Amino acid sequence: MQSSSIDVAATPATKPGLRLLLLPLVILAGMGLSVEAGLLGPLGVQVGHLWATLSIFGVGSAILFLLLLFSGPQQGPALNTLPRWQLIGGFLGPMYVVVLTLATPHIGIAMTMIAILSGQVGKSVLIDHFGWFGATRKKVNGERWLALLLIVAALVLIARG
């Protein structure tokens, strides 16, 4: 996969204070995913996995619509000017939630989340390293390999436990 033609210079510079604010916010969002898995597993068993996924996206879409409605004027999306590959996220999000809904009742929340985390970190290290999708390139160094290895070790330990 080649780097895209996106202007990486358009990526906003991160201020040190903003970075300190975003890290706990992202950790809280990750905690929300564990709660979502805990809710989706039983919901999928009760109403069906696809209906559970649709309900989650329906509620999310309604909330986003209200936020857009009350947040003032917004420039609408120019979907016809975007590279088509940027819309892949519209496919990946629901697939992620369907897998979450299917897996959680069978392997548990902890196993589901650490498996997802290992996949996320593994792929994100590659995306950073190669600068795919317009990401700023960050070479894989020993610390990043060690972090990935520790996450995989955590996956093995949770699977055995």
For 49, other C-beta atoms within 10 Å of its C-beta total 20
Tell me the percentage of the chain whose pLDDT exceeds 90.
48
Whole-number average pLDDT of the chain: 85
Residue 102 has pLDDT above 70, yes or no: yes
pLDDT band at 134, cuts 50/70/90? confident
Tell me what pLDDT residue 85 has: 81
Tell me what pLDDT residue 123 has: 93
Instruction: Give the tens place of pLDDT for each residue, 46-66.
Output: 999 999 999 999 999 999 999
Residue 39 has pLDDT above 70, yes or no: yes
Q: What is the pTM of this model?
A: 0.74
Query: Do the beta carbons of residue 100 and residue 37 sit within 8 Å?
Result: yes
Instruction: Give the tens place of pLDDT for each residue, 81-100.
Output: 878 788 888 888 899 999 99
pLDDT band at 11, cuts 50/70/90? low
Tell me what pLDDT residue 10 has: 47
Residue 141 has pLDDT above 50, yes or no: yes
pLDDT band at 12, cuts 50/70/90? low
pLDDT band at 18, cuts 50/70/90? confident
